[in-house]
Structure 1
């Protein structure tokens, strides 16, 4: 029987170093951890802040909220919300915003959360188990084309249509899928193992992203960061698959250039709002110690000064 892995925070020191930067006043700033998870980044941030510093964290997972309750620090607060709600913070109030995307090891390894095809459990996959529709509930009603679109667009699965057809055919013949192993076994009959990857990997990723609206939330949070960051404030985002990283990369690139209005070529261009700083991958030593870090990419940008 596989033993659950303890959560190891990816790019821990690198992310906090990038977030705080090298300003002497950084330790007294106000920072945002958009994805508290099990608190690895938050705890290190707090250890580096002065008594005047402040940290605001967000998370949708009730277990993350419970873990945050163990932090007894007046400088720290946690909100049971997704990081799309960063936009509710006051304008230009944050010296840095950190977003560590993806799923934590405890979420993956806890069978009753339904994130992993390696453990039998209810087909749930919700980050916030207190609200919203589970994957099982959605698959019990969705049409073939809807399922196809999700698996193709969010899982980049080339056999999305055959998988969707099999899911609906099973539903009509035997009733809706209920467990992770039900779904994994069904997908394995359609998708053959490729390069050692479990056949259900892409389908599970797609359904998790969809049911939690992860990419939509990421886009909203990135846009909100432009308003919430102070001039000079840092944006640090750690992604774990190409769909996330593409959104982050394109967002930083889009806002790291001056915008010219072609209709009025002599008008003053709109200034860039971000400055791209660096792209960091986990070290070889980190990947060897934590294989789940191997796909991580951290991008760092800085909010530019607002022109007078």
Structure 2
């Protein structure tokens, strides 16, 4: 696989993820499409471009931060990479099946904690034998004790969050997609959960991390992609991209929208025009 622009050309022998001109559209109807206007008006559909022309190549071993304001398309991009949503246009190639964290496993209230853990592990791709061996470790780590044999309906929200987090972070994927911070229950549990998450990030072959906490992105990712309203604005070293994003955010916060938009234009103008070509042999 080679990436090419008029100035540089590089060859990546074993890319982990290749996204070529990815676009993703959603069709909205009813109140969402009318902007919340009168219920009695005729329903009209409108198309929202969640992603437009997103292109990048990720080498094996890279950790990628994805930043941008709410509604920029960050989570949509993760779902496209994960394969849970198909792009409207363009192509996405992934070296292996990614694991998407950030959406809690579908825990069933009438099942016990142990049963939910077992089914959750199967859903994450574990074999039945692996899942059976891992369930006791999950129960111990989530500190459920005898509650593990009770239905989830008897759990507090904190207990449910701990179990959900423990299940979600029990796999060691080659390509890990993390959408914001996972809920981990009470604050006393936070340090323990953070340590487990750090271990997961270190063990994964590739990480795509969506977060509004820029220090988390800087700590875990060498490279960062900035998306704004579906468009790629920047793709480069994390410190540089985060700095420009912070400048934009500060301008926007201070009401200097015209300057913020001009900064967007300037930064995006430096984004390389990449085309992707397969390398024979």
- Quickly name the TM-score band, shorter chain normalised: 0.3 to 0.5
| TM-score, scaled relative to structure 1 | 0.31
Q: Which has the higher strand share?
A: 2
Which one has more relative contact order, counting CA pairs under 8 Å at least 6 apart? Answer: 2
